[in-house]
Structure 1
Amino acid sequence: MAPDTGFPDADARHDFDRMRRRAAVARLAGWIMRQPGDVTEVLPYGEVVAALGFVSERALGLQVIEVADIVGSVDRTTDFDRYFRPVSPALRARWQRLAAAQRRGESMPPIVVKRVGDMYFVVDGHHRVSIAFARHFETIDAYVTEVVTRVSPAGITARSDLLIKDHRRLFLSRVPLAGEQRAAITMRDAWEYSVLAEMVEAWGFRLMQQTGEFLARAEVARRWFGEEFLPVVRMARAASILSRATDAELYVLVARERYRLVRRHVWSEEIISELSQRGDLS
């Protein structure tokens, strides 16, 4: 970064030009390296909350937040990139005016953000955030509203991560596990969540046929986890089947292959042993 000249207007102009160049270089580098296009995009608040499932929100008041934790926008996703570098020259006039005023020592009002997990999404103050990134500020004052979601936002780094969050949310609405049981079910392929949900629902239907009583979804989920999921995973792990898979991925695969072998919804050491002999399941 070039040293300041001491002339606020000139320094603000240089900052804007530098940020625009870096945005262009980042897009070009992503294209050359064949990275997904959404890696350099600002996260859209609406899509994030839709994928995670909105529960509630509450105002937290004025806080000092980390600039690096600001990753998205409520309504300006096409004007800035992931690091709030301006992507359009049309932003220059207002951006430079605010940047020069800040350099002259004029106070800037706090920005307004929504917090989802550890991520912040700008409601008002996009230019101020962009200037903070340009000048390498570590913190910024903000009025914060905390948003609570049904599914944890942990692990979201790009727009493409929202698909798996959305499918996990739908899975948990069909299979309402809680606590450690809920945390134990993870998939790397979003579409496998729907496969697993259908397996659990089918297991619950067979259970209700056997017992002759209706069971709520939460009760089916709890019993499936303890009576079906854990025993099967333990047997499969002991047989060293798919050691790199998550427990949920392992269950789906062996359950699917089990039915192909015996055409029945039963488990035995012999079935697990036969599955373990298959080279593609090691």
Structure 2
Amino acid sequence: MTDPISEQARSDFQRALFKAFMNRVWASLSGQTTTLLSYDEIKEKLHIGGPIYRGVQTVRVDQIAGSLNRYHEFDRVFLPASDKLADRWQSVNRAFYQEVSLPPVVLYKVGQVYFVVDGHHRVSVARKQGQVFIDAEVRECATRVNITANIKPEDLEILENKVNFLERTSLDSLIPDANIRLNIPDGFDRMLEHIAVHRYFMGLDMQRDISEEEAIVHWYETVYMPVINVIRSTGILREFPEKTEGDLYLWVLDHQHYLESEEGIPLQSSEDAARDFFGEEDKKTVRKKRKK
């Protein structure tokens, strides 16, 4: 005869398994992903360093969204993806009901996301039971960009490009307060082109060789930031909630080059171009609101 706790543990697993299945169905219909983040993929794309031991900590369960090597066995919210996990999962779940103390899980931390090294079933049961925190041995990995538990595949692609941009420019070292964010996939590659062109014209204007570091700082201070300051002073970003300041900077530069190449309008300073561009965008927004 099955004892009540074992029966409850089995029932919990079946419900968790069914919910994981429904999550996959919904994901296939909506184009979303339910897969856990792969530590190896993050390491490869973001060139992370470490890990460095940080001791035993209390970690929010909902910040655990990845795995070192078992990311196909659980979904993004750590529901079990296969009935092959039943025995171990139910054993851990019985321990939960019996209030048996289990050892801390082992996690890698990258940005604001934790990856399970050891303790996948414990994390899964904790999440299924509504546990908010879990004890964990944490090892932190250095990264030049921040990631969060709700990161999407397209976000990872952009962050990979940002890491490459920072490695090429060392902007985060040259100007520690600089934090360019983009939602445009090829945006950082385009910014590298802007810097290269800016360096070329700096050399012509100053009649000397310009170091890459000098060009990067000068571009940031005299081209990029003037546009950002206009964006902030006009509050135009409120009209584009899915965009970032960096995205709007790219819009301004694209528009400026379009006017120069297609209509023969001389290039303006980036600040003047931004004021003209956002002035027109603001008028369009007002007209749209009046039509509603």
TM-score, normalised relative to structure 1: 0.82
Match of 1:267 in 2: 268
The Cα offsets for residues 49-87 of structure 1, whole Å up to 9 and x where unpaired, read as 333331333101122222222111111111001111111
The match for 2:165 among 152, 168, 171 is 171
Percent identity between matched residues is 30
The aligned runs of 1:1-282 (5 Å cut-off) are: 7-32=4-29, 34-36=30-32, 38=33, 40-154=34-148, 156-178=150-172, 179=175, 182-183=178-179, 185-232=180-227, 244=240, 246-263=244-261, 266-267=267-268, 282=284
Cα distance in structure 1, aligned partners of 2:94 and 2:282: 63
Instruction: Give 3-state SS (helix, strand or coil) of 1:90's partner.
Output: helix
Tell me which residue corresponds to 2:287.
none
2:278 and 2:71 mapped to 1: Cα distance?
Answer: 49
Deviation at 1:271?
6.5
SS of 2:185's equivalent in the other structure is: coil
Superposed CA RMSD: 3.2
Q: CA deviation at 1:239?
A: 9.1
Q: CA deviation at 1:247?
A: 3.5
Query: Which runs of 5 or more structure 1 residues have no equivalent in the other structure?
Result: none
C-alpha separation in 1, matches of 2:235 and 2:122: 54
Deviation at 1:14, TM superposition (A): 1.0
**Which ranges of structure 2 fall in alignment gaps of 5 or more residues?**
285-292
Residues 155, 161 of structure 1: alpha-carbon distance in 2 compared, 3 angstrom cutoff: farther
The Cα of 1:224 is off from its aligned counterpart by 0.7
Cα distance in 2 for residues equivalent to 1:235 and 1:101: 58
Q: CA separation of 1:103/1:270 partners in 2, compared to 1, >3 Å: closer, same or farther? A: closer
Q: Is the 8 A contact 1:43 1:71 kept in 2?
A: yes
Whether the 8 Å CA contact 1:171–1:193 is kept in 2: the answer is yes
CA distance in structure 1 between the partners assigned to 2:225 and 2:244 by the alignment: 13
Cα 1:273–1:85 change in 2 (3 A) is: closer
The question of whether the paired residues in 2 share the 8 Å contact of 1:168 and 1:190 is answered with no
Which of 200-209 and 77-86 deviates more?
200-209
After TM superposition, the score normalised by the length of structure 2 is: 0.79
The CA deviation string for residues 126-182 of structure 1, in whole angstroms up to 9 with x for no partner, is 111111112222222211101110112247533332111111212222333235652
| Residues 252 and 273 in structure 2, CA contact (< 8 A), matched pair in contact too | no
Count residues with an aligned counterpart: 274
Structure 2 counterpart SS, 1:130: helix
Q: How far has the Cα of 1:194 moved from its partner?
A: 0.9
Contact 1:9 1:100 in 2 (8 A): yes
Residues 93-140 of structure 1: per-residue CA shift (max 9 Å, x gap): 222233224434443222110011222110011111111112222222
1:279–1:229 distance in 2 versus 1, CA, 3 Å: closer
Kindly provide the CA deviation profile for residues 224-280 of structure 1, in whole angstroms up to 9, marking residues without a partner as x.
Answer: 111222335556888998863543333323323333433598425986787679779
What secondary structure sits across from 2:50 in the alignment? strand
Structure 2 contact 230–275 (Cα < 8 Å) conserved: no
> Residues of 2 paired with 1:57 and 1:250: CA distance?
36
CA separation of 1:193 and 1:105: change in aligned 2, threshold 3 A: same
Residue 198 of structure 1, CA deviation: 0.8
Would you say the 8 A contact 1:239–1:272 is kept in 2?
A: no
Seen in structure 2, the aligned counterparts of structure 1 residues 218 and 134 have a Cα distance that, compared at 3 Å, is same
Q: Which amino acid aligns with 1:210?
A: D
- Greater relative contact order (CA < 8 Å, ≥ 6 in sequence): 1
What is the Cα deviation at residue 192 of structure 1? Answer: 1.9
What per-residue deviation string (whole Å, max 9, x for no partner) do you get for residues 194-235 of structure 1?
112111121112213433444443322211111222335556
